[in-house]
Amino acid sequence: MISPELIQRINELSHKKKTVGLTEEEKQEQAKLYKIYLAGIRGQMKQQLDSIEFVD
């Protein structure tokens, strides 16, 4: 599930990556968080698409 804390941490790491750079541990954490975020987005999209009902 996508929580505000997850998004905040992703944004913090992204900002740090652009300014100072990330350590190897932070790169791994960022990759893990991206996977969680993308899985959540895909789940939301699938749920939305499953709820669509075609009417003829």
What integer is the mean pLDDT of 2-13?
96
Q: How many residues does the chain have?
A: 56
Q: pLDDT category, 56, cuts 50, 70, 90?
A: confident
Whole-number Å distance between alpha carbons of 36 and 3 = 10
> What span, in angstroms and rounded, lies between the C-alpha atoms of 41 and 50?
14
pTM score: 0.82
What are the domain boundaries of the chain?
1-9+24-47
Contacts of 34 (CB under 8 A, 6+ apart): 10
The model's pLDDT over 19-44, given as tens digits with 9 standing for 90+, comes to 999 999 999 999 999 999 999 999 99
d(CA 37, CA 21): 21
